[in-house]
Structure formats: structure tokens, C-alpha cells
Amino acid sequence: MIEVMIVEDDPMVREINSKFLKRVEGFNLFQAVSNLEDAKKYVTLKKPDLILLDVYLPKENGIDFLKWIRRQAIGIDIILITADKSMERIQEALRYGAVDYLIKPFSFERFKEALLQFKNRYYQFEKYEVMEQNELDRLISCSAALQNEDEFEKGLNKYTYRLIWDEIEKRNYEEFTAENLAEKLGIARVTVRRYLEYMEKEDKVEKLAEYGKVGRPQYKYHKL
């Protein structure tokens, strides 16, 4: 299990984020705190794997905690969860190594995408002692299609796209169904189908119809 600490001063938001976290498989709430003093105390006692960190705290700034983590050379990943939309704050967070930045209010789907993306990279890094360039590129780089969300059809986004494509690549050239991917990733089947249709247009996957004796055909896919 990936151990997570939540740093959020608003008790209602803290409770919502805690409930969201419980709905994502593979994560455990290590501790939820309302201020940086408690956050530092718990980090010193037992290092979590991931911190969901608010920026605006009473008389405190979450970015200062992120900088403290880096100065102490503590190996913890950070996802910022904040209402701050300023480019200055976003760039500062990314420069100090935040792995994602969620702007309030956000949907559970976006929250889940951030965690699943983190989980995928976390376990990939755990698995390898060394990594080839192509494998590293797959983990940290986006394809050209992901660079600009405006290139996507309405309702699609790069985070879900990347999650689904990463899972397809793991299956290499084996056939799979939308239902297979939906069950594995915990994403609705109708959502997976939309992304597969988009990937089919990109000539990244091929859709095959398998006809039985009765009823509608079952559709399978494989990577091109």
C-alpha cells in the first residue's frame, strides 16, 4: 500500500479528500493534519510515500513545506491541492518537484487520475534497478498528442489518455476489450470506449469484431 498524508486546514475539504483517497485502490491514509508543524512531526516519525498538500494554510504556505522537504533531502512525493491558479505558484511548485497540481474544485475522476498515474510510476520505479531510455520515456514523457489538450476531442484529457495507453502498452500486442481495461483501471467502460475510439482514429489501436452465434459482436482491440 502507498502511504499518504493529507495536509489541509479546512476540515470539510480534509474529510472529502480522505474519502476520495479511500475510494482509490492501493492507497492508505497515513495521517491527515491541518498545519505544517504537525506535518513535519509526522514526516519525522514515519515517512509517507506521498503528501497531498494544500498551499493556503493559516499563517503558513504549503510551498514552504515543499521546499523544506527538498532541503532535508526527504524522499517524499508531493501533489499540490489548492485554489491557487497563478502561473507563478504553479511554476514554483513544479520547479520544486511537485508531481501533480490539482486546482480546487476538482472532480473525483481527476483526483483518481492523479493517484493512479502516481501509482503506476511508483511501482515501475520500484521494479527496476536500471531503466532503458524507451522505458523511461514511457513513464515521464507525453506523446505529441498529449502535449496540447486542445487537440483532443471535447471531454477527453491527457491524464486519462495516458493511464489507458500505459495499460495497453503493458499488454504489448495481445488482444483486449474495453471491459478488460475498465476493470483493471477502475474507469467506467463507456469512458474507456471513448478513448479507444480516439486511439483508433490515431491508428494506435485496431478494433476487431468477434461474432458469436447470437447477439451483437464482441469488440476486441490490439495495439498497432
**Dihedral sign, Cα of residue 126, residue 131, residue 137, residue 138:** negative
Residue 147: what pLDDT? 42
In a domain, 162, yes or no: yes
pLDDT at 176 > cutoff 90:
yes
- Total domains in the chain come to 2
In a domain, 136, yes or no: no
Give the distance, in angstroms, between the CA of residue 79 and the centroid of all CA atoms in the same chain: 10
Task: Answer yes or no: do 110 and 162 share one domain.
Answer: no
Bigger pLDDT: 139 vs 87: 87
- pLDDT interval class at 121 (50, 70, 90): confident
For residue 58, cis peptide bond before it (omega within 30 degrees of 0): no
Would the pTM of this model clear 0.85, i.e. be above it? no
Task: Answer yes or no: do 106 and 34 share one domain.
Answer: yes
> What would the pLDDT profile of 186-213 be if each residue is shown by its tens digit?
788 888 998 999 899 888 899 998 876 6
In a domain, 135, yes or no: no
Task: Answer yes or no: do 121 and 20 share one domain.
Answer: yes
- In percent, the amount of the chain with pLDDT more than 90 equals 43
The pairs formed by 24-29 with CB atoms below 8 angstroms and a separation of 24 or more are 24/111, 24/112, 24/115, 24/116, 24/186, 25/186, 26/1, 26/2, 26/119, 27/1, 27/2, 27/115, 27/119, 28/1, 28/2, 28/3, 28/4, 29/4, 29/5
Task: Answer yes or no: do 118 and 156 share one domain.
Answer: no
Task: Answer yes or no: do 120 and 148 share one domain.
Answer: no
In a domain, 132, yes or no: no
Cell numbers describing residue 124: 515501475
Q: Of 82, 100, 126, which one is at a domain's C-terminal end?
A: 126
The HSE-up count of residue 96 (CA atoms within 13 Å, CB side) is 23
Nearest to 52 by CA among 106, 91, 95: 106
Residue 180 maps to which CATH number?
Answer: 1.10.10.10
Q: What is the overall mean pLDDT for the chain?
A: 85
Cα-based distances in Å from 24 to 8, 159, 180, 205:
19, 16, 18, 28
Domain that holds residue 20: 2-126
Query: ∠ CA 106-108-112 to the nearest 5 degrees?
Result: 110
In a domain, 80, yes or no: yes
- 191/187 Cα distance (integer angstroms): 7
